[in-house]
Structure formats: structure tokens, C-alpha cells
């Protein structure tokens, strides 16, 4: 809705509704432009509430077509209806009563993709967070739980399929070519979990037998002809259902579980009870069209939405401030699932890379907010990496502090105690405090204090006393609205290594709490002293990234090299390589800026190649180790006054040096890892492909020509290899004939597959350099680009703005102008998409001053535009204020 000034909603103002909603009975008569919605609601006044208090129902862009009280038309004097609110007065003091609300809505015109809309001829809904109020007037908040019956009436030929939440009750003909279906969901739910789908789709069917022996029908609906591409999603769903039973003791609770894939969707997917709706990008896969990364994403998102059935649906959130209660916890669960299905260490490294690239950036900029915010103007702007990923890390820290047994006990208590309720973060934390007897009040600061804590580490070895001391000091930086912070409870896993890399036994005898291999930093400054350490040890700290903090620890390069070679924590081995590489890359950036050439880094390169050639390590890990810190990683470490061109040059230089020194090794890896067997998406095969393709990247660089990549493009028999080869050609040999030929070949081959053409868009959108902008302009006019489809926009404009530092931040600021124009145009149709795109500029203040000034003026132009959505207005004003 376009509101002039976004109202601020505060957690402190929470109070329950005046009326309790008991039952919801919805009837939809579907029509592309005039869908009639009749909603019968049974309410009673909550005990103790003022007898004259009116019933207030939320709306968004609605017109009231009829209002009945106990089946009788209401007197107009008894209510007031505006597009955003229906107020009904003079209602019974305590007896239950029925209100019938009739609205007519236009799904075809719904370009916001919130509420009921049409995508490719399919009716579908998206109600989280506040989309249900675009369908009918309703107490549209997550603490209003009710039991729903849904009747759907629609033209039978166009909509053979009529779906909603819960179990199917029955259906029949309805005359005039129409038919109807009725659905009943026995589980009380908030309106944001409501869903309806109607249309003509193909289906993939299977069944799952739960631990207690109930058979559940599984159905995945996709466009006709795409059924074979839903097989992997079905397999991931069954594995998710089994895993949740085995690891969390959670069984599914309806007779049927359905997933529908649609092509116009603002996000990845939505966990509507029993009827998940997915962006088709996260359902459809086959070896010819999906990459290993696509398969891994599908597995993770199918799991995530399924896991919401317990963490989100059975136990929901009291209010939107508690969003992390379902999202952070469910991300933690899907991370654990993927870690169990794949390689735990490699998964953890990928998670941390993502956390740092997205959440750490958010947490250090103008949009920083606590995992549980205290206020918001637009809730859709809080589906952030802080709520999701940092929320997951906070859950992980609870598991680290309590240990696996107590964590499980706490989760079980949470499920027992709060099933069927709308809960709070306090409810959740209390379960862990109750089972462990631990005081978690300081720990709870993680939910309320924004900003990534910095932990400074110094160590001292006293040879005569044979004691080793670790001194830690924490600092949580100021963030918008929170100038002063209190010390947090930071659990740091650690280990001590001997000079030969062997693990040393260590238990502290003085200082802060140490439990097992976890140091508990709880004060601003704290020391931990270990006795009986016979020789100077090397400290491996924050193992498996047990706490989402920034460590400042000047470890000697020799110590880092030792950790990289010998630590038994693979995450720390990867981290040590990163800690060797980042300072080198930052120093080279400075050299390049002052007109010098970059330095040689023999020790770093040797450490990288030692890992690359170690056949005892899993290939996926070796691939991760070989992929140097990204340009964005370097920019973060650089700390401010960022010149993306210099960073790019420094990184390219190091890549080339590694490529030259490792040429023979990379050639060997490319040959050895080229498999003759059929493609399989499993993690081990994907890891081998990742290492082979990383080796190919270095070979392409070393040989400075398109031959290798062009050959790989020609030979590729799966999308992972094909899109990688195309990326190498486009990014490293852009002006060559081979590249032009491959781009044209790819386009022609996949012209009928929008999801694959999205890859073609993003590969081209991320070609480094100032020319990128012209390329974007050209591609925007390409017939297969569609500014109304979020996937297309994200593939082209999103990839450019988020993932092409040299192209997007070109010094003349021209790309900022383009993005501002696009944001303003998209905002008129789809505010959520526009607001998300806008966050690509959240770190503009870190750029060198010329670019920062140009970015600021583009942002000011957005802020000054007329008729901005609440979504964009909220983000742009916070960015400019920060």
C-alpha cells in the first residue's frame, strides 16, 4: 500500500487483540479480474476488554462489498470502511457472533505479488507478512490463530486444480462449467500461512510413511511437461521429512503435503500450512539445466520450508518482532540438515562466507538492526540476513553453550510447551534456561544488540611457568539507535596445537569459564590461563565459527601456515588461509593505488598449493581453499575509502600468480577429475566438479586465452560445467570470438527456458569493468528480459548491483543513476522487489569520496521522488540517515 508516512510499530506497544477469532470460513469465486471473497468469521470479545471496544479489521487497498452480522446485513451506521481499515461498533459483550465480509479483488492487476495474484495463468497467494489483508478485511497479525475452512469455486476447464491448506474435504460440479473444492485445516494458524492455488498444472506424486506409520500423500505441482524436473525436489522433501523425525523428533501432521512451483515470486518460497508455494527456481532441476549450486539450494529451501511446519507453523510468532523465532531457528535447522546430507565442514565454510558477505555488511552499515528489532516501519524490510542468518547463529551458540544433549532437551521442551501457540523469543530462551539451569539473560543480548562484536586476542607463553595465557577483549560497535553496548556472552571453541601441529590437551585453571573446548567470554576483558603447557602452543580460535564475531588476532604467518596445514578443524584451516590472503590483498591494493606493483606472496601461494595438491582432503574443501577472498571480502577488510578497481587489480594479480605457480598441478587436476560417469548431484561428485572447475579457472588465467575454457564449454555435458566454462570465457576473455560464439550458442540452446536464460543474464551482468553498464542497458531491451518478473530483475539488475563491484561502482556514477531509475520504475509495480534492490547500495559510505558522493546523490534522487512506497521510503531514509 502506498502510505505517505510509514507509521512506526514498536515491540513495546504489543497488546493482544480485543476479540478472539474462533473460526474462519472462506469462499472464493475465482475470476481473473473480479474474484469475490466471502469471509465468515466467528469472534468473541476477550475477557476483560472494554464492552464498547470496536472490532478493527486490517485491509490494504480493499473495497467493502458487503457486511453481515449473524447473516443479516449490517446497518451502515455500525461500521466504517476505508481501504485499509474496517471498524465495526456495537458488538456483543461476551457472546460469540459471526461477521461476514464480502470483498472483490483483481488478481490479474496485482503486480506487487502480495495477496492473491496470477502468475502464468495460475492463481496463487503470498500472505506473509501482511498480504492476507489484500484479500479481505481481517485481524491480520500472527497471534490470531484460527481454524480455516476454504471453499474455492472456479471455471473447471481453466482451473482443474483447486488447492488450499489442510486436508481435502471434497469437491463437485457447480454448474456453468464451474466446479468447487473444499479444504479444511484442523491446525489453528495465523492468516499469513493461508494459501490458495488454482489453475492447470502437472503433478509429481509420492508418499511418505511417518515414524508412527501414517501415510502422507506428497504432491509437487509444476507446469505441464516439467514434471521430470521436480524429481530432485521430491527426493529432498522425503529426506527432509525423515531427518526431522530422526534429529528433532518432529512428524508431519496432515494427510497431504503439497508444493506448487510458480514463476513470479518475490522470494524463494513460502511455508503455507500443507501447501508450500515456491519460486520455480527452487523446485525445477535436471543435470542439463541446473548447476550443483542450484541442486544444493533446492535441497536447502525444500528442507527449510518443510521444517517451518514445526518451527513457524505449529509454533508461530506472537508478533513480527519475533520473526527470528521462526526464521533464525529454521535456518539453523536447514543448515544442520544440509551439513548432515553433505560435508559439514564445507557447508560451514560456505555459511560463514555468506554470513560475512551479507550479514556482517548489513550489521556494520546504516541498515544494522538487532536480530529482534524493537521497531519497524515496514515489516517486509526485516526479512533480512540479520534476522535469518544471524538468528541462526544465535541458535547455534545456544547449542554450543549447552552442548547437544541439553540443546535437544530444550528444543523438546519448546515443542511441548508452546505447540499451538504464538510464542516469543523469551519463551524460546526460557526453555533452554529451564533445562540447563543456566542464566541466559546476558546471552539474550544477542537478540537485542545490533552490530558484529569485535574480539581482540593476545596470547602469552611463559616458558618457565609452562603456562599459556589468552587475553580477550570484546567491543560491540555502535549501530543506528544503539550508541552504547553491553558485553555479550561469546562462546569461542578453541584448540591448542604443538609446533608440529599435534593437538594439545588444555584445560584452563584461572580466569573465565571454560567448558570442554569452549571459552566463555562474558566480560569486556577476560583472561584464560592454561597450565602444564610444555612448549609454546599455537592457538586455533573460534573453531567451526562458534561465534559470529570479528577476531583481531595478529597471528604470525608461520602459525597461520601451521593451522592451515594441520588443524583438525577444517573451518580453521580454511580461515587460516584467508587470514594469510586478506592482509596480502589489502596491502597490494594500497600498493596499486600508489602506483606500485603488487608484491609476490610465495608463502601464501605455497600454502594454497599445498592444500590444492593434498589428495587426502575432500575436493570440495580444496576448491573452497583455492577460491581466494572475493573482492567484497577484501573491501570489507580494507575498511573504508574503497576503490573497487584497485581491489580488482590486486585480486587478479594474486590469482594470476597462483595460476602460474600451480599450472602443472591445475592441469593434472583438470585431467584427473574429468569423469566419464553420468552426472550425479550428490555432494561428493559436486565437490569434484568444483575442484576441477577451480583448476580450470586458474588454467585459463595462466594460459591467458580462451582455448581451455572454450574446449570445456564444448565438452560440458551438464549445466555446472557449461555455465562455469561460459563464465570463464565471458569474464576472462570477453572480447574473443570464442566467447561471442559460446554466448550465442547458450542463448539459442536455452531460449525457451527462462531459468537458464537467467544464468546467461547474470554471467553477462557480472563481467567486470566499466563496459558492464552498456551491456546491462542492451540486455534490458532483450526480448527475454521482463522487468515484471522478479527472477529476471534479480538475474540482470540484481547481479549487476550486488555482484559486479567494478561495473556497478564505475567512477562516473552512471550505474548508480541507472539503478535509481530502475528502482523508481519497479517500485510502482513491486515495492518489495524495489526495496531489496535498493539495499545493494547500503555500503555506499565506505566507498572513496568521489563514488560515495555520486551514490549519495542517486539515493537522494530516489528519496525525493513522489509516491514512493513505504518499503523504498523506509530503506532509503535509513541509508541516508546512517
Per rule CB under 5 A, count of chain residues that contact Zn ion: 2
Separation between Cα atoms, residue 561 and residue 585, nearest integer Å: 17
Comparing CB distances to ligand B3K, the nearer of 198 and 270 is: 270
Comparing CB distances to ligand B3K, the nearer of 159 and 272 is: 272
Cβ of residue 63: shortest distance to ligand B3K, in angstroms? 24
Comparing CB distances to Zn ion, the nearer of 129 and 258 is: 129
Those residues whose C-beta lies under 8 Å from the C-beta of residue 156, and which sit 6 or more positions away, are: 173, 177, 178, 179
Which residue is it, cell 465495526?
88
Q: Rule CB under 6 A: which residues touch ligand B3K?
A: 128-129, 267, 269-271, 304-305, 308, 327, 380, 383
Q: Any idea what DSSP says for residue 598?
A: P
**Residue 349 CA, distance from chain mean position:** 16
Comparing CB distances to ligand B3K, the nearer of 259 and 697 is: 259
Separation between Cα atoms, residue 716 and residue 706, nearest integer Å: 15
Distances from the Cα of 762 to the Cαs of 26, 197, 627, 719, 780, in angstroms?
A: 42, 30, 20, 14, 12
The option from Zn ion, ligand B3K, none interacting with 270 (CB < 5 to 8 A, set by class) reads ligand B3K
The option from ligand B3K, Zn ion, none interacting with 383 (CB < 5 to 8 A, set by class) reads ligand B3K
Separation between Cα atoms, residue 322 and residue 328, nearest integer Å: 10
C-alpha cell of residue 198 = 488454482
Cβ of residue 192: shortest distance to ligand B3K, in angstroms? 8
38, 305, 336, 389: which is the annotated catalytic residue?
305
Separation between Cα atoms, residue 133 and residue 689, nearest integer Å: 47
Separation between Cα atoms, residue 222 and residue 229, nearest integer Å: 9
567, 559 contact by CB (below 8 A): no
The option from ligand B3K, Zn ion, none interacting with 376 (CB < 5 to 8 A, set by class) reads none
Comparing CB distances to Zn ion, the nearer of 69 and 265 is: 265
Strand segments (E) across 774-864:
none
The option from ligand B3K, Zn ion, none interacting with 165 (CB < 5 to 8 A, set by class) reads none
The option from ligand B3K, Zn ion, none interacting with 721 (CB < 5 to 8 A, set by class) reads none
168, 186 contact by CB (below 8 A): no
Cβ of residue 316: shortest distance to ligand B3K, in angstroms? 11
DSSP 138-154: B--STT--EEEEEEEEE
Cβ of residue 330: shortest distance to Zn ion, in angstroms? 5
Cβ of residue 724: shortest distance to ligand B3K, in angstroms? 29
Comparing CB distances to ligand B3K, the nearer of 304 and 759 is: 304
Cβ of residue 304: shortest distance to Zn ion, in angstroms? 5
Is-catalytic flag, 305? yes
Comparing CB distances to ligand B3K, the nearer of 130 and 637 is: 130
On the CB side of 737, CA atoms within 13 Å amount to: 1
Residue 133 sits at φ, ψ, to 5 deg, of: -70, -5
The option from ligand B3K, Zn ion, none interacting with 25 (CB < 5 to 8 A, set by class) reads none
Pick from 635, 638, 617, 637: nearest CA to 626:
617
The option from Zn ion, ligand B3K, none interacting with 129 (CB < 5 to 8 A, set by class) reads ligand B3K
The option from ligand B3K, Zn ion, none interacting with 822 (CB < 5 to 8 A, set by class) reads none
Those residues whose C-beta lies under 8 Å from the C-beta of residue 819, and which sit 6 or more positions away, are: 797, 801, 808, 837, 840, 841, 858
Number of neighbours of residue 491 by Cβ within 10 angstroms? 23
Comparing CB distances to ligand B3K, the nearer of 447 and 732 is: 447
85, 96 contact by CB (below 8 A): no
Comparing CB distances to Zn ion, the nearer of 319 and 327 is: 327
Residues 297-336, mask of contacts with Zn ion (x by CB under 5 A): ------------------------------x--x------
Comparing CB distances to ligand B3K, the nearer of 192 and 698 is: 192
Separation between Cα atoms, residue 346 and residue 351, nearest integer Å: 9
Is the sign of the CA dihedral 77, 81, 87, 93 positive or negative?
Answer: positive
Separation between Cα atoms, residue 826 and residue 833, nearest integer Å: 7
Cβ of residue 308: shortest distance to Zn ion, in angstroms? 6
Separation between Cα atoms, residue 127 and residue 191, nearest integer Å: 7
The option from Zn ion, ligand B3K, none interacting with 267 (CB < 5 to 8 A, set by class) reads ligand B3K
Cβ of residue 305: shortest distance to ligand B3K, in angstroms? 5
359, 394 contact by CB (below 8 A): no
Cβ of residue 148: shortest distance to ligand B3K, in angstroms? 18
The DSSP element (H or E) to which 727 belongs, if any, is helix 719-732
Q: Which residues pair with 510 in a beta bridge?
A: 529
Separation between Cα atoms, residue 223 and residue 238, nearest integer Å: 21
Separation between Cα atoms, residue 629 and residue 651, nearest integer Å: 8
Q: Give me the residue whose beta carbon is nearest to ligand B3K.
A: 128
Pick from 200, 247, 208, 245: nearest CA to 225:
200
Cβ of residue 312: shortest distance to ligand B3K, in angstroms? 7
- Catalytic positions, please? 305
Which positions touch Zn ion (CB under 5 A)? 327, 330
Amino acid at each position: 500500500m502506498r502510505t505517505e508516512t510509514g507509521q512506526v510499530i514498536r515491540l513495546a506497544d504489543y497488546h493482544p487483540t480485543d476479540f478472539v477469532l474462533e473460526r474462519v470460513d472462506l469462499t472464493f469465486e475465482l475470476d481473473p479480474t473480479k474474484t469475490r471473497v466471502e469471509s465468515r468469521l466467528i469472534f468473541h470479545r476477550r475477557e476483560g476488554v472494554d464492552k464498547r471496544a470496536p472490532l478493527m479489521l486490517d485491509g490494504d487497498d480493499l473495497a467493502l462489498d458487503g457486511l453481515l452480522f449473524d447473516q443479516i446485513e449490517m446497518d451502515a451506521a455500525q461500521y466504517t470502511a476505508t481501504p485499509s481499515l474496517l471498524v465495526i461498533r456495537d458488538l456483543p459483550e461476551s457472546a460469540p457472533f459471526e461477521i461476514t465480509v464480502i470483498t472483490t479483488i483483481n488478481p490479474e492487476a496485482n503486480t506487487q505479488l502480495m495477496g492473491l495474484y496470477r502468475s502464468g495463468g495460475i492463481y496463487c497467494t503470498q500472505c506473509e507478512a501482511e498480504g492476507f489483508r489484500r484479500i479481505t478485511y481481517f485481524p491480520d497479525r500472527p497471534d490470531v490463530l484460527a481454524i480455516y475452512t476454504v471453499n474455492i469455486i472456479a471455471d473447471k476447464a481453466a482451473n482443474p486444480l483447486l488447492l488450499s491448506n489442510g486436508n481435502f474435504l471434497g469437491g463437485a460440479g457447480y454448474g456453468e462449467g464451474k466446479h468447487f473444492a473444499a479444504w479444511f485445516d484442523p491446525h489453528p494458524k495465523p492468516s499469513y500461512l493461508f494459501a490458495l492455488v488454482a489453475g492447470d498444472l502437472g503433478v509429481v506424486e509420492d508418499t511418505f510413511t511417518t515414524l508412527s506409520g501414517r501415510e502422507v500423500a506428497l504432491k509437487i505441482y509444476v507446469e505441464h511437461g516439467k514434471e521430470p524436473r521436480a524429481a530432485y525436489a521430491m527426493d529432498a522433501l522425503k529426506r527432509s521429512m525423515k531427518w526431522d523425525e530422526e534429529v528433532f523428533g518432529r512428524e508431519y501432521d496432515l494427510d497431504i503435503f503439497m508444493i506448487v512451483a510458480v514463476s513470479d515470486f518475490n522470494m524463494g518460497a513460502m511455508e503455507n500450512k500443507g501447501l508450500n508455494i515456491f519460486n520455480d527456481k527452487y523446485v525445477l532441476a535436471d543435470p542439463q539445466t541446473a548447476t550443483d549450486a542450484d541442486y544444493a539450494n533446492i535441497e536447502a529451501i525444500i528442507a527449510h520450508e518443510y521444517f517451518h511446519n514445526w518451527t513457524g507453523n505449529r509454533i508461530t510468532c506472537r508478533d513480527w518482532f519475533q520473526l527470528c523465532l521462526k526464521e533464525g531457528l529454521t535456518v539453523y535447522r536447514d543448515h544442520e540438515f544440509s551439513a548432515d546430507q553433505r560435508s559439514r565442514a564445507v557447508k560451514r565454510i560456505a555459511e560463514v562466507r555468506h554470513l560475512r558477505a551479507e550479514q556482517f555488511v548489513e550489521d556494520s552499515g546504516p541498515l544494522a538492526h538487532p536480530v529482534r528489532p524493537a521497531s519497524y516501519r515496514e515489516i517486509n524490510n526485516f526479512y533480512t540476513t540479520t534476522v535469518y542468518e544471524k538468528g541462526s547463529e544465535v541458535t547455534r551458540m545456544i547449542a554450543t553453550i549447552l552442548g547437544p544433549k541439553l540443546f535437544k532437551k530444550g528444543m523438546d521442551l519448546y515443542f511441548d510447551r508452546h505447540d499451538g501457540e504464538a510464542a516469543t523469543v523469551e519463551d524460546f530462551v526460557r526453555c533452554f534456561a529451564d533445562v540447563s539451569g543456566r542464566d541466559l539473560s546476558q546471552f539474550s543480548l544477542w537478540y537485542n544488540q545490533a552490530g558484529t562484536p569485535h574480539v581482540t586476542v593476545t596470547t602469552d607463553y611463559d616458558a618457565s611457568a609452562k603456562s599459556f595465557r589468552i587475553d580477550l577483549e570484546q567491543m560491540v560497535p555502535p549501530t543506528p539507535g544503539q550508541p552504547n553496548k553491553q558485553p555479550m556472552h561469546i562462546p569461542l571453541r578453541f584448540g591448542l596445537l604443538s609446533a608440529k601441529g599435534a593437538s594439545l590437551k588444555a584445560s584452563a585453571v584461572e580466569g573465565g569459564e571454560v567448558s570442554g573446548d569452549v571459552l566463555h567470554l562474558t566480560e569486556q576483558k577476560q583472561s584464560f590461563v592454561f597450565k602444564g603447557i610444555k612448549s609454546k602452543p599455537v592457538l586455533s580460535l573460534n573453531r567451526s565459527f562458534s561465534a559470529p564475531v570479528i577476531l583481531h588476532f595478529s597471528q604470525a604467518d608461520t602459525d597461520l601456515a601451521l593451522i592451515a596445514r594441520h588443524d583438525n578443524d577444517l573451518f580453521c584451516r580454511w580461515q587460516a588461509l584467508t587470514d594469510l590472503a586478506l592482509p596480502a590483498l589489502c596491502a597490494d591494493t594500497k600498493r596499486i593505488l600508489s602506483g606500485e606493483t603488487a608484491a609476490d606472496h610465495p608463502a601464501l601461494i605455497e600454502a594454497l598449493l599445498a592444500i590444492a595438491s593434498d589428495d587426502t582432503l575432500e575436493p570440495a574443501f580444496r576448491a573452497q581453499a583455492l577460491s581466494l577472498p572475493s573482492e567484497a571480502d577484501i573491501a570489507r577488510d580494507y575498511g573504508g575509502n574503497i576503490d573497487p578497481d584497485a581491489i580488482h587489480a590486486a585480486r587478479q594479480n594474486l590469482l594470476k600468480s597462483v595460476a602460474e605457480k600451480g599450472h602443472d598441478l591445475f592441469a593434472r587436476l583438470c585431467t584427473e577429475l574429468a569423469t566419464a560417469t553420468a552426472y550425479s548431484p550428490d555432494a561428493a561428485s559436486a565437490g569434484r566438479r568444483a575442484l576441477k572447475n577451480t583448476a580450470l579457472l586458474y588454467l585459463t588465467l595462466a594460459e591467458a586465452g580462451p582455448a581451455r575454457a572454450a574446449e570445456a564449454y564444448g565438452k560440458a555435458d551438464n549445466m555446472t560445467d557449461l555455465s562455469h566454462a561460459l563464465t570463464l570465457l565471458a569474464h576472462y576473455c570477453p572480447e574473443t570470438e570464442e566467447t561471442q560464439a559460446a554466448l550465442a550458442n547458450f542463448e539459442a540452446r536455452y531460449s525457451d527456458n527462462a531459468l537458464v536464460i537467467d544464468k546467461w543474464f547474470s554471467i553477462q551482468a557480472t563481467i567486470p569493468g566499466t563496459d558492464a553498464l552498456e551491456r546491462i542497458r542492451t540486455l534490458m531491451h532483450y526480448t527475454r528480459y521482463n522487468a515484471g518478473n522478479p527472477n529476471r530483475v534479480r538475474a540482470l539488475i540484481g547481479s549487476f548491483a550486488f555482484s559486479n563491484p567494478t561495473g556497478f561502482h564505475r567512477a562516473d556514477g552512471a550505474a548508480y543513476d541507472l539503478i535509481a531509475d530502475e528502482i523508481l520504475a519497479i517500485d510502482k509495480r513491486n515495492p518489495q522487489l524495489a526495496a531489496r534492490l535498493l539495499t545493494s547500495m547500503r555500503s555506499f559510505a565506505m566507498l572513496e569520496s568521489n563514488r560515495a558522493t555520486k551514490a549519495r546523490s542517486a539515493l537522494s534522487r530516489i528519496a525525493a521522488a513522489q509516491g514512493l512506497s513505504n518499503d523504498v521510503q523506509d530503506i532509503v531514509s535509513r541509508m541516508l540517515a546512517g
